[in-house]
Structure 1
Amino acid sequence: MINLGKFPVLNVNVAAVDYDYATRAILDAARRGQPFSVSALAVHGVMTGFGDPEHARRLNGLDLVVPDGQPVRWALGWLHGKRLPDRVYGPELTLRVARALAEEGLSVYLYGSQPQVLERFAADLRRRFPGLKIAGMEASKFRRTTPEEQQAIARRIRESGADVVFVGLGCPRQEVWAFEYRELLSRPILAIGAAFDFHAGTLAQAPRAMQNLGLEWLFRLMQEPRRLWRRYVLLNPLFVWNLLLQLTRLRRFQVPFPDGTERQELYG
């Protein structure tokens, strides 16, 4: 079990942890009925915080941001000497948490995506983990909810008795949701995005070799070029450039927090 601490990748604090630590932290919070918001970020997720200080505050207000993408894992090693044996890939973390919930008789609520995806995702989870209790499911409204709707959603989730919430709204909407609902729900929230579609079988995952080489973005770009080209063709080089600036200390990034403070990055 690995927990080396949190370290800034550009202006987002990423936790240098492994699957075992992340799973245990989520389960510990579930047992205690405590708020605990988690997101698995790849390059695109980090760059949403880099380009928007307000969103960076939200990301840094989450309890745990894990390195979903290989380049984010490598960045922890290059910048801070924190070399992890593997990334903490959101779809894989989802399965590990679901397995642990099933073993302990705890339940999960699925929020986001579309009704048909939720049904297929739930069926896949039940097939893999027959003891898993799915307390409820609710599709995304695909728009900003009103304060009244937000309260109603939180009430439905609380009344379902769910111990953990899986959220799949896409980045950065799901991280905003995890931040805003943290105190409303007082239970762990895991923002896992494409894991809903991957495990529902509606979106193909990159081959393992491409994942290990940090080329999952290329596989997804080939799948959906019109939708994703800006994300990868523009943001990936910008990420690398700013990573080099941070590595050479030609630029120091401020790390904004929800309390309004901004702290200089710290090097391990």
Structure 2
Amino acid sequence: MSFSTVTVMDVPFIKATNQEFLTQLQTDIDQKKRRFIVTANPEIVLYAKDHPEYKAIIKAADYITPDGIGIIKAAQTIHQPLPERVTGYDTMVALLEKANTQHLRVYLLGAKPEVMAAVVTKVQQQYPGIDLVGYHDGYFKEDTQILADIHDKQPQLIFVGLGYPKQENWIKQNLTQAQAIWMGVGGSFDVLSGMTKRAPKVFQDAHLEWFYRLLKEPTRFKRMLAIPKFMWLMRKEKRA
């Protein structure tokens, strides 16, 4: 399946529901395809706008998904609606569930040491069918051993939580090490570990996860300013 895309500020987002995307990823896994997934929110799109090299890297990905209500709103603004949000966290969890039932090989990279330790414990307890072939926290000075491990173990799913732009840069540089689904997952390990709480469903359904995070972490205020800036630029672009 080749998804059509909707271009938001020169970034092409796949036009697919969560289920359609997961169906395609299952096909990719079955056919042993190498895939690079970027889950992009307004903050990432704004960063790409100001950093051409990073924009080129994410545009080279196989799939860019709309991770953020701001992207959905922006697509509506240009009258090219996207079906729904396809978040990094939900996609990661759905792939872990697939890996559990299909005994897939998984590699985890990123987060603080204590977060990764908690994630590993959770995966081993909650997804006993997963073949967890390796893991490493995100605090490494050099990655020679990590890459050797990935090359030797040939995981089928590789989740990289180094935060943007580092995770996308790292994935792009090292894609050839394994015929796998490579996915940047940002702070998803923090949520999976239980150390960071995801917004309750009522906030998710109202598209107010950003507000819940702001209530829990007021220091995120500066980062949250990306959303109104992004929407202002989209409206400006539309008028132009």
The normalised TM-score by structure 1 is: 0.81
Deviations 1:52-80 (A, max 9, x none): 11111111011111111122123233324
Counterpart for residue 265 of structure 1: none
Counterpart for residue 189 of structure 2: 196
1:47 is displaced (CA, Å) by 1.6
Counterpart for residue 44 of structure 1: 43
Paired with 2:222 and 2:145, the residues of 1 have a C-alpha distance of: 35
CA contact (8 A) 2:109 2:160 kept: yes
Give the partner amino acid of 1:181.
N
Query: Is residue 181 of structure 1 aligned with residue 174 of structure 2?
Result: yes
Counterpart for residue 224 of structure 2: 232
Counterpart for residue 156 of structure 1: 149
Q: What are structure 2's unaligned runs of at least 5 residues?
A: none
Deviations 1:108-167 (A, max 9, x none): 100111222112112223333331221111111266x4xxx3x54222112123111011
Report the more deviating stretch, 58-67 or 39-48. Answer: 39-48
Percent sequence identity over aligned pairs: 22
Counterpart for residue 81 of structure 1: 80
1:3 is displaced (CA, Å) by 7.0
Q: What are structure 1's unaligned runs of at least 5 residues?
A: 251-268
Match of 1:38, SS state, is: strand
Counterpart for residue 137 of structure 2: 139
Counterpart for residue 14 of structure 1: 13
Match of 1:214, SS state, is: coil
Query: Is residue 170 of structure 1 aligned with residue 163 of structure 2?
Result: yes
Counterpart for residue 69 of structure 2: 70
Counterpart for residue 98 of structure 1: 96
1:213 is displaced (CA, Å) by 2.9
1:195 is displaced (CA, Å) by 1.3
Paired with 1:153 and 1:32, the residues of 2 have a C-alpha distance of: 25
The higher-RCO structure (CA 8 Å, 6+ apart) is: 1
Paired with 2:26 and 2:120, the residues of 1 have a C-alpha distance of: 20
Paired with 1:27 and 1:157, the residues of 2 have a C-alpha distance of: 21
Give the partner amino acid of 1:239.
F
1:229 is displaced (CA, Å) by 2.4
Give the partner amino acid of 1:177.
W
Paired with 1:90 and 1:205, the residues of 2 have a C-alpha distance of: 13
Number of residue pairs the alignment of both structures matches: 240
Paired with 2:183 and 2:218, the residues of 1 have a C-alpha distance of: 28
Paired with 2:188 and 2:224, the residues of 1 have a C-alpha distance of: 19
What do you get for the CA RMSD once the two structures are aligned? 2.1
Give the partner amino acid of 2:60.
G
CA contact (8 A) 2:113 2:139 kept: no
